[in-house]
Chains A and B, each alone.
Chain A
Amino acid sequence: MAETPKTFSTTLAPHIHSADSVAKRYWGQVAALMPLVLAACFFRRAEFLHALLLSLISAVAFEFFSAKLFEKKNKFYHGEAVLIALLTAVLMPSGCPASAIILANFLALVVAKEFFGGMGEYLFHPVLFARVFLQGGVPGLMAEPMVFYGNGWILAAIGLGGLLLLKQRRGYWEIPFLYLAVYSFSDLALGCRAGDPLGFFTGVLFTGFFLLVDPVTLPLTRKGTRWFVSGAALLGALLSPRGFSIVAAGSAILLMNLLTPWLDIWLRPIPHSSRKLLKEGRAQ
């Protein structure tokens, strides 16, 4: 029998934890983006590679400096900066100057993320915030993302990435499909303006799978998340008069981000024990 120490750790329950972690979540999303990144490298070659490398370098640098500036521990190993860099690169238009890519990463990592409280605290989706802000600031410079053009392989890569995300079971599975359904339905109802169906589905699926998975800016219940996504899809369709537009979809998501605190309060869970009492109260 081994000798046992006199005192043991007395932290509160639970004494065991799931294997899930923040780093696994972010790196999981990075992994799911890989098919798209590889497809983009293949089809857009030097142009996308250039944007990707620049985005990665600037994101890492901004992450490092903002950790210094805000006196926080540099948590590069979480993979959040890499994820932001990849998403930013994917959303950049063709012929976009290097300064715009660097600025986009600055806006995402320093302004939208750190100024709003850092990891877990920010209000707006950092990548969309940066992209929409840039579009507003330099409208002539920013067009639709260079990877969102009618290419079946790109669409397949997004689908494959989506499957990888679904397999990780870290978000609500219905979100991308709900987004796709509401967006398509709204678009049809508004007069079916999706000129290029391949481009349309590429944009909508990418948004549904990769831009609506950041839980920080989503509501705190499943029901709330469904409302959020439906609202974002409807607003996105309303704001883009000519098929899918990343800025319209992004602006719609940012607008819904503003509503998140209200959705959290409005749709907060009701304890099972008080549900019946509430029902009776209403019936009386």
Chain B
Amino acid sequence: MAASKSVGIRLERKKDASLLNWNLKKTYSPEKVRVPLRCGSRPCVRAGEHVQTGQKIAEPDRPEEVTVYAGIAGTVTEIASIPDPTGATITAVTVQGRAEPKSAPVVWEVRKGWEQISAGEFMMTCQHLGLVTTDLSSEPVHAKVKKNAAARTLIVNCCEPEPYITCEQVLLLSHPVEILKGAELLRKALGAEKILFAFEECNFEVGELIKSKIFFLKWDHAEARAVPALYPQGLEKLLLQNWFPGKEDQAVAFPASTVFAIYEAVAHQKPFYERIVTVGGECVVEPRSLWLPLGTSFRDALHACKGVMREPDKMVMNGPMAGIAQADMNVPVTAGTAAVLALPKEIVKEDPEEPCLRCNLCVDKCPVGISPVMITLAADHGEFGIAAISGAEACIECGNCGYVCPSKRPMLKKIRAAKEGLKTHRIRETAARHG
């Protein structure tokens, strides 16, 4: 692989704490969930109604949308707008759990002949069982499959380049065969020829495990490929860009946890109402990765790990490099929540901004090969043309430039300002051209 493709930062991984004790046998059951509904889905329950775990609570309005399910059994108490972890306002169905002792975990029936499922049935299953990708885009799986019909290769992304996060790794170590089978189902539905499992080179036990299972299944259309353990190598966009330069449309990547959810949906007919989440950070008493029903509040997520031992300074959804800081702990876990982090002051302290030293560190560490310094300096001076030619629109907001900057400049804020300014600039230009 060319050197330019492996640009990144070797970060302290901080994953050991959450790898100390993991047990994915049981889903944590909070007393209340506020299940986020997707825009384009309509609630099909009313306040006061009782629901079971895995019961449908919203139906899609559009063919590209999915059904939504309740993650706990209880009573619907409210359907209202709430802020989600990305800052958007969404509709959520609040389910208050029952007071009686927790019932035994729900067992889903195995579908007969699931391995021979047709592509049409696969798509229907994904839509009806509410499958969305377990990354920030939370794209419905059937819509993503349809959109990538030309893909010849399926990439199953097992990488977690951000510090603290271990949910994919833990899931892979617990359910490798299920993930491989889910990948095969997905490959057939896509009509792809090959499956590539991407894992970080420092996670060699994951790599070896996948390789051994591929060998055991006698698959010659699957391969496990290592990715340098440099942040942000392993993000979906970079995998596509680095492995299929200029031919990104010939491959499609899905997170391993999505592939596992696909396996569960197709083989066991289990709806997508829970996801694996890493609850971590120095403030958490017992950091670990665990199953949480969608809609669990961040407060309950921390509670599931015995709470915090000291006051966090920041609550972050997903990693510390590109994650989103939360104003409070009431936000719900969504399909895109890979981690809930409670970080102390000494980790997230912010030093005052200094003038740019033009040291080029941000340029050298930018994984997409653009010039963050030129973009941000141009944005400071309102020069959006220069921001554009410096590659503002190619920025994947990985946070590398802000991390390395010795002047502690708020790079992302400036890059977003440049992108916004560029949009307005273009609209004005178009308007001027059309009179």
Q: B residues bordering A, Cβ < 8 Å?
A: 4-5, 163, 241, 245-246, 285, 299, 302-303, 306-316, 320-329, 342-343, 347-348, 350-351, 354-361, 363-364, 366, 368-371, 373-374, 389-391, 394, 397, 399-400, 402-408, 410, 412-413, 416
A220 to B342, CA, bound (A): 37
Grouping DSSP codes into helix (H, G, I), strand (E, B) and loop, the A interface class, with mixed when no group exceeds half, is: loop
Q: Say whether, besides A14-B403, A17-B350, A20-B404, A4 and B329 are in contact (CB < 8 Å).
A: yes
Q: Tell yes or no: A5 within 8 A of B by CB.
A: yes
Give the shortest distance, in Å, between A267 (CB) and chain B (any CB). Answer: 10
Q: Which residue of A lies closest to B309 (CB)?
A: A2
Q: Say whether, besides A13-B322, A18-B404, A22-B406, A271 and B368 are in contact (CB < 8 Å).
A: yes
Q: Tell yes or no: A283 within 8 A of B by CB.
A: no
Which residues on A sit within 8 Å (CB–CB) of B354?
22, 119-120
Give the shortest distance, in Å, between B313 (CB) and chain A (any CB). Answer: 6
Query: Shortest 8 CB-CB distances between A and B: which pairs?
Result: A1-B307, A120-B355, A276-B246, A14-B399, A271-B394, A20-B406, A271-B391, A272-B369
Which residues on B sit within 8 Å (CB–CB) of A273?
241, 368, 394
Which residues on B sit within 8 Å (CB–CB) of A268?
371, 374, 389-390
Which residues on A sit within 8 Å (CB–CB) of B416?
12
21 A-B contacts (beta carbon < 8 Å): A1-B309, A2-B310, A3-B311, A4-B308, A8-B315, A10-B325, A10-B326, A13-B320, A14-B321, A16-B348, A18-B405, A20-B404, A22-B407, A25-B359, A120-B407, A218-B358, A220-B358, A221-B363, A222-B364, A225-B360, A269-B370
B360 touches A22 (CB 8 A): no
Instruction: Point out which of B307, B347, B370, B406 has the most chain A C-beta atoms below 10 A from its C-beta.
Output: B406
0/1 interface trace, chain A 23-38, chain B, CB 8 Å (1 if under): 0110000000000000
A268 to B385, CA, bound (A): 14
Grouping DSSP codes into helix (H, G, I), strand (E, B) and loop, the B interface class, with mixed when no group exceeds half, is: loop
A6 to B331, CA, bound (A): 12
Interface size class of A (residues with CB under 8 A): 35 or more
Q: Tell yes or no: A174 within 8 A of B by CB.
A: no
Q: Which residue of B lies closest to A24 (CB)?
A: B406
Q: Which residue of B lies closest to A267 (CB)?
A: B371
Which residues on B sit within 8 Å (CB–CB) of A14?
320-322, 399-400, 402-403, 412
A16 touches B371 (CB 8 A): no
A277 touches B246 (CB 8 A): yes
Give the shortest distance, in Å, between B252 (CB) and chain A (any CB). Answer: 17
Which among B241, B351, B359, B390 is the interface contact of A170 at CB below 8 angstroms? B359
A225 to B361, CA, bound (A): 13
